[in-house]
Amino acid sequence: MTPSYVLALDQGTTSSRAVLFDHQGRLCRIAQQEFTQHYPKPGWVEHDANEIWTTQKQVTEQVLRDHGVSARQVVAIGITNQRETTVIWDRTTGEPIANALVWQDKRTAPLCEELRERGLEDQVREKTGLVIDSYFSATKIRWMLDHIDRARERAERGELLFGTMDTWLMWKATGGQRHVTDYTNAGRTMLFDIRELAWDEELLRELDIPAAMLPDVLPCSADFGTWTIDGVDIPIAGVAGDQHAALFGQACFEPGTAKNTYGTGCFMLMNTGEELCYSKNGLISTLAWGPDGKVNYALEGSIFIAGAAVQWLRDGLKLIQSASETEALARQAGEAQEVYVVPAFVGLGAPYWDMYARGAIFGLTRDTGAPELVRATLQSLAYQTRDVLEAMQEDSGLTLQTLKVDGGAVANNYLMQFQADILGVEVERPEVIESTAWGAACLAGMHVGIWSLETIAEVRRVEKRFAPHMDDTARASLYAGWQKAVKRTLGWLHE
């Protein structure tokens, strides 16, 4: 028999990737291309949506070519994507009206303050599960309508369309035939009622956003259209935002199970089942997934800067040439030095939600060098994860026994061991760390009938477990130092 495959498009914040899985769920091939990051002003982050489409198309063609697979062998396509990043384009020409505003972009912080002053916080939290923050898409849409020439006028005439990156890719892949998204991406806009599973008319009015701009919302496993590759119509059958896809790919199907993804940002999600659990500790309540119209919910802690801090070591400070060097350098750091890097380059996410915090380094001495800075940067990922876990356990009433991890940084054994040590819980690394792409592939494969929840759980295998070895006194002392460092960065731009 000719082997069959599921193709996952993993459209991330810094690169577009295509990942090929065979019928048995084995990862066969990955193709990846980085794309340009635009920083027109401090705190502003933009992407060229056309460049993203071009790179995504190229890696799709490349992964099939490199593995010797024809389009006829691909039974379904799943899409997972950087969430909240906002693109608006012309319904007729398909051309974006400006660069996409990336989830990290902070230009709408003043608008968020205005919305809070108008007393909308409780309404936003109750309906969307979110906090009012420039992170989410709604204020980015509003900013583009207010600041781009004739944008509001054109939007009100029905000439403009909004989408997150999944919507943009599907519009392009289907030749403009489908303007759609899924529950998880819609749930990150700050405009979608996650209980009613519908766009909220009241929030649209409050933000002055025309409903005609918004895509149709479908379950995560559904018919999202077809992409014609080499004359073959391949169904796009699964879509989920990157963190939701990773939760699914890690088989966190039971309430209380959790995963942490280490990418550009760092995101911990805990499945809370079919009940919507609101946080009292700065976490987000979010849709986990909805393969068949029945949804699960999750608590989420969003850490804005994780792998991006390692990129800063490479591109900004020139301390390393590649991320793979960080493990050896961290092990060379002096034991007596307690240096803390707080990578609040674009503010702080959960549980602080401070748009005005900025990055800082504490504890520098004359003998601090590259190893100490590299180690402190890696440790900042683990400290931020503990911040989130403490809030998550208090909100849910559950005590985590094992943290499932994925994403590029989990290949770093120093970081994974320190993560286990500072949390005091076991960290579990799967054989296939591409959980995000795998989750998107699973959702697509379920829709076309080749996989089920049972087979997805069976396929997942653990490569290594990291048990905590640090004593309680050392753990408490290190974490107290981190908390002191964070406190000094809060509200920096207001001081």
- Per the annotation, binding residues are 13-15, 17, 83-84, 135, 242-243, 264, 307, 311, 408, 412
Paired with 406 in beta bridges are 261
Q: Within 10 A of 174 (CB to CB), how many other CB atoms are there? A: 17
Q: Within 10 A of 14 (CB to CB), how many other CB atoms are there? A: 16
Query: What is the per-residue DSSP string for 271-282?
Result: EEETS----SSS
| DSSP conformational letter for 84 | S
Distance CA 367, CA 337 (A): 9
Q: Within 10 A of 449 (CB to CB), how many other CB atoms are there? A: 10
End-to-end CA distance of the chain: 68
Residue 219 · residue 212 · CB < 8 Å: no
In 3D space, the residue among 238, 213, 214 whose CA is nearest the CA of residue 224 turns out to be 238
Distance CA 412, CA 272 (A): 29
Taking the C-alpha atoms of 391, 291, 191 and 396 in order, what is their torsion angle to the nearest 10 degrees? -20
| DSSP conformational letter for 379 | H
Distance CA 192, CA 186 (A): 6
Q: In 274-412, where does DSSP find H-type helix?
A: 307-311, 326-332, 370-396
Residue 143 · residue 104 · CB < 8 Å: no
Which segments are annotated as binding site for sn-glycerol 3-phosphate?
A: 13, 83-84, 135, 242
Residue 234 in 3-state DSSP? strand
In the numeric block, the tokens 């070591």 are attached to 313
| DSSP conformational letter for 258 | E
Distance CA 10, CA 52 (A): 11
CA 182 to chain centre: 15
Which segments are annotated as binding site for glycerol?
A: 83-84, 135, 242-243
Which segments are annotated as binding site for ADP?
A: 13, 17, 264, 307, 408, 412
In the numeric block, the tokens 């080499």 are attached to 230
Distance CA 5, CA 448 (A): 12
8 is written with which tokens? 């996952």
Cis status of the peptide bond prior to 371, with omega within 30 of 0:
no
In 3D space, the residue among 191, 43, 192, 213 whose CA is nearest the CA of residue 115 turns out to be 191
Which segments are annotated as binding site for ATP?
A: 13-15, 264, 307, 311, 408
Residue 493 · residue 109 · CB < 8 Å: no
